[in-house]
Amino acid sequence: MGELFRRIRYLIQRRRFDAELAGDMEFHRQMAAREGRGNFGNALRIEQQAREAWGWTWLDDLVHDLRYACRTISRSPGFSLIAVATMALGIGATTAIFSVIDATLLHPLPFPDAQQLVRIEDDLPGIAVSDVGISIPEFWDLENSGIFQYVSLNGGGSVNLTGSSQPARIQFEPVSPTYFALLGVKPELGRTFDPNDRTPGFTLEVVITDGLWKREFGGDPHILGRSLRLDNDTYQVVGVMPPGFRDPGQTPGERSTDLWAGAGFAADPAPDPVRGSRLSLGTIARLKPGLTLASAQSRLDALVAALKKQYPADYPAQTEWTVRLAPLSESVVGNLRQSLLLLFAAVGLVLLIGCVNVANLVLARASSRSREIAVRHAMGATRSRLMRQLLTESLLLSILGGIAGLITLACIKSLLLGMIPESFPRLNGISLNWTVLGFALALSIAAGAIFGLAPIRLTGELDVMKAIRQEGRGSTGSADRAHARRILVVTEFALSLVLMIAAGLLLRSFWQLFKVQLGFRPDRVLSVQTWLPEPNDPRTDIYRTATQEATLLREILRRNASLPGVDEVAVGDLAALPLGHGRDDLNMWPFMREGHETQTSQAPLVETAIVSPGYFHLLGITLLRGRVFSDQDVETTPAVAVINEAMARAFWPNEDPVGKRFKLRRRPNWITVAGVVADARTESPSQAGIPLIFLSIYQFRGKDLALFLRGQVDSSAIGDQVRAQVQSVDAELPVFGAQTLDSVLSDSLSPRRFSLQMVGLFAITALLLAGLGIYGTISYVVGEQTREIGVRLALGADRRAILTMVLGQGLRLSTAGAAAGLLGALIVTRLMAGVLYGVSPVDPTTFVIVTLVLTAVALAACYLPARRAMKVDPLAALHYE
């Protein structure tokens, strides 16, 4: 410790220390001279050796190198500017993507000991269904298993908040009281739920987000203890979460939760807690400290085996019930991983191409510097010292580039964040933190090392004798450098080709999706949501039966049909809203065909949507067989269903499904298939053929409703007009979320559009850089060949032949690059299969077109130097040296 302190003190006061040393030695010399011993040796060298004892030589060298590098850089501002700008672009873009990866993939959960957080999913692989939900006795088993510190259930959905100026529909989650203790988060105000609360139904306590507090309650400081009316029940606010807190849900809907209500899920409105009755709830847990995922899973497997033995009736062997643990972080990130890694690879390629370009520039400068290097070597600089000097220069350039990139990034941060789709998880976790800054620094150093060392390695430029020889005769000795530049250009061309093919494939996927046959007509259709309250005590529900609800709905439809411009109206539940629902809004129900399935525990789950008779015509969904619903299909008449083609194919193959009967939703009554409609891609444009059952809304009530209007309507005013109509029937109903189906369709493509835009942007950058690189190299080669061209012309060569010769050189380079690039692309695009749609990863059209485009750009880049070569004046060329 003392030694370091002394060394640092020396560094601070080194002028004084060095003067004292010089004084000592001067005195020594005088005394020695007096005694007749004049020989002292090389005083300077001894002084230097003595100073080295303090161990700061490296710093001296560094300062010297940096000073020298600054001089060289400022001596050629053009080169330096291009190099710094290229690096700023590459490092800035790579850092931007990395900051997103840092927030989403590396730190998906901003909670303490997040690696202990898991999601628990029940699967029935025997009947090919996964994530079937959990029954409450199973939940209790998990709580008592000793594997978990906390287990929590969470539902998803929304609720009507009434009592403020306008009835509002807010995203809410019923959760077990352990929820916040499990996550390990503290509220901003008040408290969260008591994890030991064993209330069977709702605890009637809610915790709200900072956003809801500010939006609906104006940041009221007396919010704690305030009563809220949610679906006509009264709850009390006990806490407000801090501004940055977002629910770690699986879907965008869950992640935008505004209110959490404590619930035991074992009393109204939940069904009786029996083992056979699975609730569609999510389950998350925190593992006991010290338990790994694998050890917890094996203990859980043992528990499942014991339960199967204990309750054979509830767990039939053929369903093969299993319970699976997965890191919570995985389900938050979901399928984004692949898109993000694709972007990261793309931007990394751009950076690499940038490095190659700068390496090319460095080489171009090497000719003018070889004499300087030779002289410095002759003066006694060692090889490693010279290497260090050159490396310092390139590192300085790339770090300057990195700083410029980061500053740009900080300036346009909000612009960039605006480009990211809203549905992105951890969007507000993206920041320029220390990890990101460290990454940018490491990246700068790596980039500087690449473009600093590559030219040296490729040419052996430090071979001093060669350098001196080269000075003698310009053109022949630089063959090495020309060769090195060709290698770099081929590399660059190959990398750009890979990137452009990737972008081309994404573009084709997007195009395929864009012109896909949706099976419904989204144009001129507008949807508006309204939700009926669902009180915890069913007896207080004024829309308890389908008949009660039908009266309301018929009136709402009648009034809205009379709005100006509206041609047709229909109503359905959220599952009927095309493309507009997340996974949490799906209505999956056990489905049992007559004569096939007998027990709900073996039944496959099928998605159902509830619609009014006009729905099919309004959306342009074609009827293939039988009939659609009519106004006469009501609660008192036999229940009927309309199924889609995929459903018919899956469950009644080679049979006419019309007239077949099935049971659904644990109801005792048979439902008869009345008609079959064509498949429509209501799930997502990329998903076709998902089995779907439609039920009549006059026979089966729906709470989460979407109104559909077709016609020439003013989309900005229609929301208010519909609200007025709906609330004139029931003033307590919220009306929200008016949007055209066209915009819903466009939104559903936004993550793909984002990937496409980004990769496309990177590919164009790569194309520009590669074009510049080829242009620079061919110009250089032509410059070197001026004499040769002059001689040829003097001997009578055709000028056109010269042009062809130069273009031929460019063509050879691009052919070599294309070959390498195509090979690379074949490997890389295979990894992209998951993000492509309707196009093969080795789509020949894309490969050929992109290669042709890139070759055309290369030839265009060669054309200018080739024209210059053609116009060489033989006389001037021969007098050149």
Cα-only R_g, the chain? 37
Binding mask 50-69 for other proteins (x = CB under 8 A): xxxxxx--------------
DSSP state for residue 168 in the 8-state scheme: E
Minimum CB separation from other proteins for residue 59, in Å?
Answer: 15
Minimum CB separation from other proteins for residue 28, in Å?
Answer: 5
Specify the residue, 31 or 634, whose C-beta has the smaller distance to other proteins: 31
> H or E element: which one contains 465?
helix 464-472
- For tokens 């194919």, what's the residue? 649
> How far does the chain reach from its first CA to its final CA, in angstroms?
63
Specify the residue, 6 or 385, whose C-beta has the smaller distance to other proteins: 6
Minimum CB separation from other proteins for residue 51, in Å?
Answer: 7
Written as six digits, the tokens of 647 are 């459903």
Minimum CB separation from other proteins for residue 1, in Å?
Answer: 10
Residues 451/362, Cβ–Cβ less than 8 Å: yes
Residue numbers 214-243 binding other proteins by CB under 8 A: none
Other beta carbons less than 10 A from residue 632's beta carbon: 9
Alpha-carbon distance 740 to 526, whole Å? 4
Residue numbers 33-52 binding other proteins by CB under 8 A: 40-42, 45-47, 49-52
Specify the residue, 25 or 449, whose C-beta has the smaller distance to other proteins: 25
Strand partners, 286: 117, 150
Written as six digits, the tokens of 68 are 């020298």
Residues 257/247, Cβ–Cβ less than 8 Å: yes
Among 25, 453, 623, 624, binds other proteins (CB under 8 A): 25
Alpha-carbon distance 251 to 246, whole Å? 12
Minimum CB separation from other proteins for residue 24, in Å?
Answer: 5
Residues 248/283, Cβ–Cβ less than 8 Å: no
DSSP-derived 3-state class of residue 426: coil
Specify the residue, 54 or 754, whose C-beta has the smaller distance to other proteins: 54
* Long-range residue pairs from 850-854, CB within 8 A, at least 24 positions apart, any chain: 850/497, 850/500, 850/501, 850/504, 851/497, 851/818, 851/821, 851/822, 853/500, 854/493, 854/496, 854/497, 854/500, 854/767, 854/770, 854/814, 854/818, 854/821
Among 11, 13, 24, 798, binds other proteins (CB under 8 A): 24
Specify the residue, 40 or 514, whose C-beta has the smaller distance to other proteins: 40
Binding mask 651-670 for other proteins (x = CB under 8 A): --------------------
Find the part of the chain contacting other proteins (CB under 8 A) among 20-28, 78-86, 172-180, 453-461.
Answer: 20-28
Among 8, 11, 13, 27, binds other proteins (CB under 8 A): 27
Quick check: 6 binds other proteins (CB under 8 A)?
Answer: yes
Minimum CB separation from other proteins for residue 757, in Å?
Answer: 59
Residue 577 CB-density burial (10 A; 0-12 exposed, 13-18 middle, 19+ buried)? buried
Specify the residue, 10 or 217, whose C-beta has the smaller distance to other proteins: 10
Specify the residue, 27 or 311, whose C-beta has the smaller distance to other proteins: 27
Specify the residue, 32 or 106, whose C-beta has the smaller distance to other proteins: 32
Minimum CB separation from other proteins for residue 54, in Å?
Answer: 6
Specify the residue, 34 or 75, whose C-beta has the smaller distance to other proteins: 34
Minimum CB separation from other proteins for residue 13, in Å?
Answer: 12
Burial 199-217 (b: 16+ CB within 10 A, else e): bebbbbbbbbbbebbeebb
Beta strand segments in 669-727, E:
671-677, 692-696, 704-711
The letter for the amino acid at 416 is L
Minimum CB separation from other proteins for residue 12, in Å?
Answer: 15
Among 3, 74, 668, 795, binds other proteins (CB under 8 A): 3
Quick check: 14 binds other proteins (CB under 8 A)?
Answer: no
- Looking from the CA of 354 toward its CB, the CA atoms found within 13 Å total 33
Specify the residue, 40 or 311, whose C-beta has the smaller distance to other proteins: 40
Contacts of 455 (CB under 8 A, 6+ apart): 359, 362, 363, 366, 461, 484
Closest-CA residue to 424 (of 338, 336, 331, 326): 336
Among 28, 67, 667, 830, binds other proteins (CB under 8 A): 28
Specify the residue, 24 or 471, whose C-beta has the smaller distance to other proteins: 24
Minimum CB separation from other proteins for residue 48, in Å?
Answer: 9
Minimum CB separation from other proteins for residue 15, in Å?
Answer: 15
Minimum CB separation from other proteins for residue 62, in Å?
Answer: 20
Q: What is the DSSP string of 239-255?
A: EE--TT-----SSHHHH
Size of the residue set binding other proteins (CB under 8 A): 27
Alpha-carbon distance 813 to 819, whole Å? 10
Cα 795 versus chain centre, distance: 62
Among 8, 11, 32, 412, binds other proteins (CB under 8 A): 32
Minimum CB separation from other proteins for residue 879, in Å?
Answer: 58
Quick check: 473 binds other proteins (CB under 8 A)?
Answer: no
Specify the residue, 54 or 511, whose C-beta has the smaller distance to other proteins: 54
Among 11, 23, 191, 292, binds other proteins (CB under 8 A): 23
> H or E element: which one contains 148?
strand 148-154
Binding site for other proteins (CB under 8 A): 2-3, 6-7, 10, 20-21, 23-25, 27-28, 31-32, 40-42, 45-47, 49-55
